[in-house]
A = this chain, B = another copy of it.
Amino acid sequence: MMTGAQYLASLQDGRTVFLDGARVHDVTTDAGLGQSARIVARGYDALHRPGPDARNPVFTIPRTAEELRARCELLTKHDVTLSLSAVAMALLTSSTELTHADPAAGERIQHWFDDCATRDVRFAELITDAKGDRMLAPSQQDDPDLYVRVVDRDSTGVVIRGAKFHTTAGPIVHELVVLPTKRMKPGEEQYAIACAVPADTPGVIQITSSHHARHGHPRDKPISAKLAIPDSMVVFDDVHVPYERVFLDGDVARSAVIAHSLGLWERLSGVAHMAHLGDQLAGMAQLVAEANGTAGISHIKDKIADIVIYATMTHACLEAALANSEVGADGMLLPSELYTNAGKLHAANHYAVMVRHLHDIAGGTIATAPSFADLANPETGAFVEKYLRGAKGVSADERLALFHAIRNMTADEWGGREAVSWLQSGGGLFAQRTVTRNHYDMAHAKATARALMEPIDD
Residues of A within 8 A of B (CB): 18, 20-23, 35, 38, 128, 130, 132-136, 142-143, 145-146, 162-163, 165-166, 205, 207, 209, 211, 214-219, 222-223, 225-226, 231-233, 235, 237, 276, 279-284, 286-287, 292-294, 296, 298-299, 301-302, 304-305, 308-309, 311-313, 315-317, 319-320, 322-324, 338-339, 342-343, 345-346, 351-353, 355-356, 359-360, 363-374, 376-377, 379-380, 383-384, 386-392, 401-402, 405, 407, 409-413, 415-417, 419-421, 423-424, 428-430, 433-434, 436-437, 440, 442, 444-450, 452-456, 458
With both beta carbons as reference points, the residue of chain B lying nearest to A437 in the complex is identified as B305
- Cross-chain contact A292 with B134 (CB below 8 angstroms): yes
Complex Cα distance, B165 from A368, in Å, reads: 8
- Cross-chain contact A218 with B145 (CB below 8 angstroms): no
- Cross-chain contact B231 with A21 (CB below 8 angstroms): no
- Cross-chain contact B324 with A319 (CB below 8 angstroms): yes
Instruction: Give the residue of B391, B392, B420, B455 whose beta carbon is less than 8 angstroms from that of A366.
Output: B420
Instruction: Give the residue of B276, B316, B446, B449 whose beta carbon is less than 8 angstroms from that of A342.
Output: B316
Given contacts A135-B294, A319-B320, A346-B313, whether A364 and B222 have CB atoms under 8 Å apart is no
- Cross-chain contact B165 with A365 (CB below 8 angstroms): yes
- Cross-chain contact A421 with B364 (CB below 8 angstroms): yes
Given contacts A237-B383, A359-B423, whether A449 and B370 have CB atoms under 8 Å apart is no
With both beta carbons as reference points, the residue of chain B lying nearest to A453 in the complex is identified as B405
- Cross-chain contact A298 with B296 (CB below 8 angstroms): no
Chain B residues near A346 (CB-CB < 8 A): 309, 313
- Cross-chain contact B429 with A360 (CB below 8 angstroms): yes
- Cross-chain contact B345 with A309 (CB below 8 angstroms): yes
With both beta carbons as reference points, the residue of chain B lying nearest to A322 in the complex is identified as B323
A455 to nearest B CB, angstroms?
Answer: 5
Among A217, A315, A447, the most chain B Cβ lie within 10 Å of the Cβ of A315
- Cross-chain contact A420 with B359 (CB below 8 angstroms): yes
A187 to nearest B CB, angstroms?
Answer: 21
Given contacts A377-B22, A416-B412, whether A452 and B280 have CB atoms under 8 Å apart is yes
Given contacts A20-B371, A299-B430, whether A440 and B312 have CB atoms under 8 Å apart is yes
State the oligomeric state as a number of copies. Answer: 4
Instruction: Give the residue of B130, B209, B217, B351 whose beta carbon is less than 8 angstroms from that of A21.
Output: B217
Interface of A is mostly: helix
Chain B residues near A345 (CB-CB < 8 A): 309
Chain B residues near A377 (CB-CB < 8 A): 18, 21-22
A205 to nearest B CB, angstroms?
Answer: 7
Chain B residues near A445 (CB-CB < 8 A): 279-280, 282-283, 286, 308, 311
With both beta carbons as reference points, the residue of chain B lying nearest to A65 in the complex is identified as B323
A426 to nearest B CB, angstroms?
Answer: 11
**What would be 26 A-B contacts, judged by CB atoms less than 8 Å apart?**
A18-B377, A132-B293, A207-B370, A207-B384, A214-B215, A218-B458, A222-B453, A231-B368, A232-B368, A279-B445, A283-B445, A283-B447, A299-B302, A308-B436, A309-B345, A309-B437, A311-B440, A312-B342, A316-B316, A316-B317, A316-B342, A316-B343, A360-B424, A401-B453, A405-B452, A411-B417
Complex Cα distance, B308 from A442, in Å, reads: 8
Complex Cα distance, B370 from A237, in Å, reads: 17
With both beta carbons as reference points, the residue of chain B lying nearest to A352 in the complex is identified as B356
- Cross-chain contact A416 with B407 (CB below 8 angstroms): yes
Q: A211-B367, A320-B323 are in contact. List 11 more A-B contacts (CB 8 A).
A: A21-B373, A166-B365, A207-B383, A299-B302, A304-B437, A312-B436, A317-B320, A319-B320, A356-B423, A359-B424, A402-B453
Instruction: Give the residue of B415, B440, B453 whose beta carbon is less than 8 angstroms from that of A308.
Output: B440
Given contacts A316-B317, A368-B165, whether A133 and B363 have CB atoms under 8 Å apart is no
- Cross-chain contact B446 with A287 (CB below 8 angstroms): yes
Instruction: Give the residue of B18, B359, B386, B420 whose beta carbon is less than 8 angstroms from that of A367.
Output: B420
With both beta carbons as reference points, the residue of chain B lying nearest to A282 in the complex is identified as B445
